Structure 1
């Protein structure tokens, strides 16, 4: 697709990518994010155990991002993405068997490969190709905002399925058997959706292959290998790639922080498990608006500038929430603060990969750059759940320490974004000077 495509064609191309990009993570993440108390009860897990299970996912995912980037620069995105979706859906069948803690660890490690290795970088590259440089914020905002809307809609149906379970008068499940029965309907539901997404991706996402030399003579093969290693070398020494990795790792920690909100409102406000799931689902509806609005603003103000503003805002708000957990503040105030963090985190997610184009990384190195950025950027899949799980299991003030921990990460992200913005400004200044000389 031409990078000068209009807004309508960008929307049409990304629509299926949106469905695929959200459903690839439905089984590994939606179940534990929207329905965390039920998930813990169904599989008889503590927060610490679930955190360690997610760490297994994170280790495998981290090892998959880099080779996945190289693969994305060589093969058609629809084939890569469709195969990943089918492999992920297969894991849903095993989850229905009610695996042990060890079995869940193996499953999430498997999902770490199926959701990343031949999917993630292919999706990012397909999105970048779908829009002109001046519409990168819009394209990535549309992608993440659309994914958020899809997640909320699917979770809303999931809540209806969950509400059919056998609850006690307090609105909770009587035992782990009843919780697992309700969870099974959700597993089947998300597995079927993932299979449907695989079919749609195969049929409608672009099958265009990257431009590579397919001749079989030895000289062309040597040239191809030299090109791959040259791209890798140049990308590895680009400081802006590593700063983008810092931005993504901090923003992703903010996103992972949202996973514990349903547990927080259940414990802090004595809400039922269904009410906790309803709050998270309601808040998730801010994602499409926040991501798309941030994308449009980023195209006008510059993505790097928007990024450090959002990080600074989040740092202040998380510090405020940590303080509120130690006082008997009104529930309404606390909920408003939590909603603010949803909006800002979703805005960050909507624009941070638009930094790839703003940094003027060449198109042929997109997959490689995304692979490197993601290796660093998504390491929270390894450590965040384990660290936060231990904080939350520590006692009365666990959530206070948890929110301070997240606030510190947000301020680090602000620093990375400021440094990146400074380098982008210098890059733009050099480009403008060269244009003036050429004229």
Structure 2
């Protein structure tokens, strides 16, 4: 049964994985990568404060929470490539709406729309198609390649977007008028929309023969499966780790604004800081997967949370001053690396925690619904902290909160480590 993925030739398999990687990242360019890299400019052009942008993210998060569970059965009923193509095209059309620089009310509606297109129609088909690609033999490698590849795509396209943005900005960035900023940002929106549409075309032609591999019996949402999973302490500990790690991931949205406001970087330099953080992801995610197989997922998760916590404490302590660039970049790379390593280890924890294969979907549903709640609360929380305490203090409070989350996650990871079987390599069956 799990041999069905071998019907594809090696070249077809490579192209299929490439399509999954490109689509898996392109779908999130408009809602998340754009504000991550260009946050200072986005706030200026749309006339928003941090809280207002955070509320738009929160609308997305609420819609996404609603979408995780029904997305699973939908992916069981319809071919992955059809759902993914519809999701990509709809998301790209949303980009055209963003390019009109809509009002705050319309922006919230747009983010709610993206919550449906990126999660209900896309997330479960992506996970399922990736599992089909890996089969029973290579599930870890499949997800490692997916997340590392997605990171590489995000960093490469992000760097290209910064270069494009710089072309449309005056040579002295500080003198840019609002019209110039708007025109430059609009070009980036068009670039991201075009890439999202191109990803839809790639998926349509690259995935047609992947569907036969999707015939494994799916027991995603059987009540018995959900109840079994809910009784597993490892799943709850994993969920706590995911929440804390995801808070860290959302917190990285602040690095470009931090560089701009505290270290006095101009808008192009600040955007480059945002992309540097993203360049760490492909290396950290793949390395974490390999090291997790070698030394144990629980051990690597614990170490990653420790590094994430230390990095957050350093920023929260307010030690950085304009000119301390090397120390800042070293801290940024280490902290980003730890956060992205955790993303590479999320789903591997299920195997370490001995979640039965047939209950994987139920576990993914529970972990996703609870674990991704930072999509709902982190945007407004960051907005309140950064707007109520403008300047460095707001950033320090934000990173103090990240440090607290890292500590909570660390406790959960140590408990997970204590109660899971010791042999990290026991997956020969």
> In structure 1, how many angstroms separate the alpha carbons of the residues matched to 2:220 and 2:242?
29
The structure 2 residue matched to 1:28, chosen from 27, 31, 34, is 31
> Hey, what does 1:101 align to over in structure 2?
104
2:399 paired with 1:395:
no
> Hey, what does 1:404 align to over in structure 2?
400
Structure 2 regions of 5+ residues with no counterpart?
none
> In structure 1, how many angstroms separate the alpha carbons of the residues matched to 2:360 and 2:37?
32
Summarize the alignment of residues 232-243 of structure 1 with structure 2, pairs less than 5 Å apart: 232-243=226-237
Q: Give per-residue Cα distances to partners, 1:77-131, cap 9 Å, x unaligned.
A: 2222222111211211211222101110110011111111121122223323333
Residues 70/243 of structure 1: CA separation in 2 closer, same or farther (3 Å cut): farther
> In structure 1, how many angstroms separate the alpha carbons of the residues matched to 2:323 and 2:400?
17
Whether the 8 Å CA contact 1:75–1:210 is kept in 2: the answer is no
> Hey, what does 2:58 align to over in structure 1?
55
RMSD: 3.0
The structure 1 residue matched to 2:361, chosen from 364, 367, 380, is 367
- The Cα shift of 1:171 comes to 3.2
SS at 1:116's partner residue?
A: helix
SS at 1:425's partner residue?
A: coil
Calculate the TM-score normalised by the size of structure 1: 0.87
Whether the 8 Å CA contact 1:23–1:193 is kept in 2: the answer is yes
- The Cα shift of 1:411 comes to 1.2
2:204 paired with 1:208:
no
> In structure 2, how many angstroms separate the alpha carbons of the residues matched to 1:358 and 1:74?
30
Whether the 8 Å CA contact 1:74–1:210 is kept in 2: the answer is no
2:164 paired with 1:161:
yes
> Hey, what does 1:230 align to over in structure 2?
224
Residues 173/227 of structure 1: CA separation in 2 closer, same or farther (3 Å cut): closer
Q: Give per-residue Cα distances to partners, 1:386-418, cap 9 Å, x unaligned.
A: 111111121341111111100110111112222
2:385 paired with 1:383:
no
Aligned residues: 421
> In structure 1, how many angstroms separate the alpha carbons of the residues matched to 2:406 and 2:288?
18
> In structure 2, how many angstroms separate the alpha carbons of the residues matched to 1:237 and 1:202?
40
Whether the 8 Å CA contact 1:391–1:399 is kept in 2: the answer is yes
Calculate the TM-score normalised by the size of structure 2: 0.89
Whether the 8 Å CA contact 2:220–2:360 is kept in 1: the answer is no
Summarize the alignment of residues 145-160 of structure 1 with structure 2, pairs less than 5 Å apart: 145-160=148-163
- The Cα shift of 1:47 comes to 0.9
2:376 paired with 1:349:
no
> Hey, what does 1:416 align to over in structure 2?
412
Whether the 8 Å CA contact 1:62–1:379 is kept in 2: the answer is yes
The structure 2 residue matched to 1:296, chosen from 290, 293, 300, is 290
> In structure 2, how many angstroms separate the alpha carbons of the residues matched to 1:42 and 1:16?
33
- The Cα shift of 1:209 comes to 6.8
Whether the 8 Å CA contact 2:293–2:425 is kept in 1: the answer is no
SS at 1:195's partner residue?
A: helix
